[in-house]
Amino acid sequence: MTSTATTIQHAAPPYSGPRAFVQRLRHGDEIAHLLTLTFAAGILLITSMLVWELWANSHLSRAKFGWTFFWTQTWDPIFDNFGAAPFIYGTLITSIVALVIAVPLGLASAIFLSELAPRKISDAISFLIDLLAAVPSVIYGLLGIFVVVPLVRSWLGPLLINTLGHLPGIGKLFAGPNYGVGFFTAGIVLAIMVVPFIISVSREVLLTVPREQREAALALGATRWESTWKVVVPWARTGIMGSIFLALARALGETMAVTMVIGNDPKISASLLRPGYTIAAVIANEFTEATGDLYLSALIELGLVLFLMTFILNGLARILIVATERGGGRPS
Amino acid sequence: MKKTWFVVSILLAVAITVAAHPGTVLLNAAGATFPYPIYSKWFDVYHQKDPNIQINYQSIGSGGGIRQLLAGTVDFGASDGPMSDDQLKDAKFKILHFPTVLGAVIPIYNVAGVTGELNFTQKALAGIYLGTITKWNDPEIAKANSGVSLPATDIVVVHRADGSGTSYIWTDFLSKVSSDWKSKVGMGTSVQWPVGLGGKGNEGVSGLVKQTPGSIGYVELIYAIQNNITFGKVQNASGKFLKADLVGVTAAAAAAAKDMPSDFRVSITNEPGPAAYPISSFTWLLVPAQISDATKRDAIKGFLKWMLTDGQGYNEGLAYARLPKGVIEKEIKAISLIQ
């Protein structure tokens, strides 16, 4: 961005005054510069206005609860006592479950499609995957209600309780009762929703890895898999990370599909099979009927918290990408 | 090219004529979702009757309706719960409540081996939703259902996750019949539920109940009738177990009509009278007492009058209960308060 801008300034004729401006406008470069600058500034403006609106409108709630808002577990619109803890917990847990399922699945599919499958099949499947990414979330919610929820209630849930549930420590994650709706089901539905993003972006990135890299590895006596896993994937690591964080961002903010399968109960429970609630879901559910000023303000503060979470996680993602780049991968 | 311009100019001409039709009164309203089907029917029929009056109604929820009205962005609002004293005090202008139709809320359940209608005492419903009654064969449930074999399974409570008038009526009823509920939970469009799962909308609750063995939930009577869902009888204030129907709901309203407050803000849950179904409520239009635009004022007054007389005839077709005569008479008098 900066280098482009300086180039343009160097390229512009060294006139000054209004005549020079008109002169410069005749060259398309200056117009393109101004136009793109305006739009780029627009994005910044929208973001800062968004934060400002959330900050200003959550004033009542911030003044009353302060920092306790983050760890209070009550959400009581009648007695005006609000805390974000169960919602933050639910948002994080469902997103983590989604990534734990979606990352191996998505990465393996992407490697197969880019490295092993014939190009024609790869292109056909990629087209279908891109279609999946465009399916509205309410459809995934219906899929959750009619397929995933009954599956978890009558088959997957009891299976997990009877196997992993007996293990010390990890067993706490899979304790009953199991209603079919809860963190785990929401995580599965989210995984189904975000996996197309991971596959689609990762495949594109893997395809950009230069042919010479593969050939060099093979020439050194590596097997096909060794060349893929030790050379191609590390080369594409930054892009793959990007796809995972794109998936995470979608999982954090998903509303409709989650609220349909999570049980909507603002409680913190160790068991993944218990019902919970997420920030986006509670805002969507309660905003229209929220009449009290403090109630409304608390809902808006939840929006601020979600924004903050996305911000922090994106920051962590940047740090992670920089850190992993040092350990090899594509030179940039 | 010429053809395109022709089409564009025709469209423009049509748009301008529609927008600037002389004498057309456009009223904007917003609010409750529960009465939306009957409201859109009324507004449509009324527009056919008087083509000069067009009412746009957005069913954005009672809370939203109240906020829009207070902000002055709509001509009138609609709400499933009456506005609180504080809200009315904070408003910059006086607001009148007009009951329009009645709705009722009924318990639905999914108990293994039970296909018929279960009887629920008031204590049983309060206990189940408080989490103190946890098994289907609890004596409080069993004593009202002699002859039905109730299993010893856990009760899974289902409630609305989204803020709604349905929850308002349900928690209003529970607050009246249980002092524990009143002090610990209270009444409102959303509350802090002691136990249970949340479903989004009537369809979300009934879906969860249908899918989850041992569950109980509550939905609007209209929704249960339209979807042929079996529902339970509820004990009323006279001790009778009543299955909700439109007649019982109107009976509850008639009982309340006798000592109706002049501003119509009244709860009719658990009304006395053997025929009164205990979990029902009015839904209201919220109209400013002072409307400076004379054409709008006349249009709203005209509509209210029609709604209270001819309009009520459309209620049963859409499974809403009619207002009782006593209430209608009082409301017609109250229309003159709009100035």
More confident residue, A244 or B22: A244
Give yes or no for residue B13 having a pLDDT over 80.
Answer: no
Residues of A in Cβ contact (< 8 Å) with B161: 259, 264, 281, 285
Give the pair of three-digit tokens for residue B171: 């928690």
Give yes or no for residue B173 having a pLDDT over 90.
Answer: yes
Give the pair of three-digit tokens for residue A180: 């079919």
Distance from CA of B198 to the nearest CA of A (A): 5
Interface of B with A in 87-116 (CB under 8 A): 87
Q: What is the pLDDT of residues A179-203, one digit of tens each?
A: 999 999 999 999 999 999 999 999 9
Q: Would you state the torsion angle of the CA atoms of residues B127, B133, B137, B139, taken in this order, to the nearest 10 degrees?
A: -60
Q: How many CB atoms lie within 10 A of CB A242?
A: 16
Of B106, B105, B58, B57, the residue nearest B81 (C-alpha):
B105
* 3-class SS of residue B291: coil
Give yes or no for residue A17 having a pLDDT over 80.
Answer: no
Distance from CA of B201 to the nearest CA of A (A): 9
Q: 């308002």: which residue's tokens?
A: B168
Give yes or no for residue B11 having a pLDDT over 80.
Answer: no
User: Which residue from B minimizes the CA distance to A259?
Assistant: B200
More confident residue, B70 or A21: B70
pLDDT band at A15 (very low <50, low <70, confident <90, very high): low
pLDDT band at B33 (very low <50, low <70, confident <90, very high): confident
Mean pLDDT of chain B: 89
What is the pLDDT at residue B163? Answer: 86
Residue B134 touches chain A, beta carbons under 8 Å = no
Give yes or no for residue B278 having a pLDDT over 70.
Answer: yes
Distance from CA of B181 to the nearest CA of A (A): 12
Residue A276 touches chain B, beta carbons under 8 Å = no
What is the pLDDT at residue A150? Answer: 93
What are the φ/ψ torsions at residue B54 (nearest 5 degrees)?
A: -125, 130
Distance from CA of B32 to the nearest CA of A (A): 9
Q: Would you state the torsion angle of the CA atoms of residues A89, A94, A100, A106, taken in this order, to the nearest 10 degrees?
A: -140
Q: What is the mean pLDDT of residues B282-305?
A: 93
Reported ipTM: 0.82
Q: What CA–CA distance (Å, rounded) separates B82 from B87? A: 10
Contact, A144 vs A261, CB < 8 A? yes
Q: What CA–CA distance (Å, rounded) separates B229 from B227? A: 6
* 3-class SS of residue A130: helix
pLDDT band at A302 (very low <50, low <70, confident <90, very high): very high
Q: What is the pLDDT of residues A72-110, one digit of tens each?
A: 999 999 999 999 999 999 999 999 999 999 999 999 999
DSSP B32: -
Beta strands B215-220 and B156-160, pairing class: parallel
Q: How many CB atoms lie within 10 A of CB A213?
A: 16
What is the pLDDT at residue B84? Answer: 86
Contact A78 B186 (CB under 8 A): yes
Interface of B with A in 246-265 (CB under 8 A): none
What is the pLDDT at residue B2? Answer: 56
A261, A262, A289, A296: best mutation site toward chain B, by most B Cβ within 10 Å?
A289
Contact B197 A265 (CB under 8 A): yes
Contact B192 A75 (CB under 8 A): yes
pLDDT band at A332 (very low <50, low <70, confident <90, very high): very low
Distances (CA, A) of B229 to A280, A281, B223, B272: 31, 27, 8, 27
Task: Lowest mean pLDDT of A268-282, A303-317, B1-15, B129-143, name the range.
Answer: B1-15
Q: What is the pLDDT of residues A128-157, one digit of tens each?
A: 999 998 999 999 999 999 999 999 999 999
What is the pLDDT at residue B301? Answer: 94
Question: Which of B60, B154, B197 is facing A264, going by the closest CB pair?
Answer: B197
Residues of B in Cβ contact (< 8 Å) with A181: 197, 208
What is the pLDDT at residue A6? Answer: 43
Give yes or no for residue A287 having a pLDDT over 90.
Answer: no
Question: Which of A79, A275, A289 is facing B164, going by the closest CB pair?
Answer: A289
- To the nearest whole percent, how much of chain A has pLDDT over 70? 90
Residues of B in Cβ contact (< 8 Å) with A79: 186, 192
- Count A/B contacts: CB-CB distance under 8 Å: 89
Give the pair of three-digit tokens for residue B329: 């008479």
Of B265, B273, B280, B237, the residue nearest B331 (C-alpha):
B265
**What do you get for the CA distance between the two ends of chain A, in Å?**
16
Contact A264 B207 (CB under 8 A): no
Distance from CA of B60 to the nearest CA of A (A): 6
User: Which residue from B minimizes the CA distance to A77?
Assistant: B191
Contact B198 A291 (CB under 8 A): no
pLDDT band at B61 (very low <50, low <70, confident <90, very high): confident
Q: What CA–CA distance (Å, rounded) separates B301 from B295? A: 10
Interface of A with B in 28-87 (CB under 8 A): 74-79
Q: What CA–CA distance (Å, rounded) separates B105 from B113? A: 24
Q: What is the pLDDT of residues B192-228, one digit of tens each?
A: 999 999 998 889 999 999 999 999 999 999 889 888 8
Orientation angle between helical segments A237-253 and A293-326, nearest 10 degrees: 170
User: Which residue from B minimizes the CA distance to A289?
Assistant: B63
User: Which residue from A minimizes the CA distance to B212?
Assistant: A179
Contacts of B110 by beta carbon, 8 Å cutoff, 6+ apart: B209, B210, B211, B212, B213, B214, B215, B216
Give the pair of three-digit tokens for residue B26: 């456009």
What is the pLDDT at residue A25? Answer: 67
Distance from CA of B224 to the nearest CA of A (A): 20
User: Which residue from B minimizes the CA distance to A264?
Assistant: B198
Residue A230 touches chain B, beta carbons under 8 Å = no
pLDDT band at A2 (very low <50, low <70, confident <90, very high): very low
What is the pLDDT at residue B5? Answer: 63
Give yes or no for residue A275 having a pLDDT over 70.
Answer: yes
Q: Which long-range contacts (C-beta less than 8 Å, at least 24 apart) are formed by A313-320?
A: A313/A245, A313/A248, A313/A249, A313/A252, A314/A245, A314/A249, A317/A241, A317/A245, A317/A248, A320/A241
What is the pLDDT at residue A1? Answer: 38
Contact A291 B189 (CB under 8 A): yes
* 3-class SS of residue B305: helix
Question: Which of B63, B192, B198 is facing A291, going by the closest CB pair?
Answer: B63
Q: Would you state the torsion angle of the CA atoms of residues A171, A176, A179, A184, taken in this order, to the nearest 10 degrees?
A: -10
Q: What is the mean pLDDT of residues B255-265?
A: 86
Cα angle B52, B54, B55 (rounded to 5 degrees) comes to: 155
Helix ranges (H only) for chain A are 2-11, 17-26, 28-57, 59-65, 85-111, 119-133, 137-143, 149-151, 157-162, 183-207, 211-219, 224-227, 233-235, 237-253, 256-261, 279-286, 293-326
Give yes or no for residue A59 having a pLDDT over 50.
Answer: yes
Residue B62 touches chain A, beta carbons under 8 Å = yes
Q: Please return the burial class of B194, using the count of CB atoms within 10 Å of its CB with bins 0-12, 13-18 and 19+.
A: middle
Q: How many CB atoms lie within 10 A of CB A83?
A: 20
Contact B154 A177 (CB under 8 A): yes
User: Which residue from B minimizes the CA distance to A148?
Assistant: B211
pLDDT band at A289 (very low <50, low <70, confident <90, very high): confident
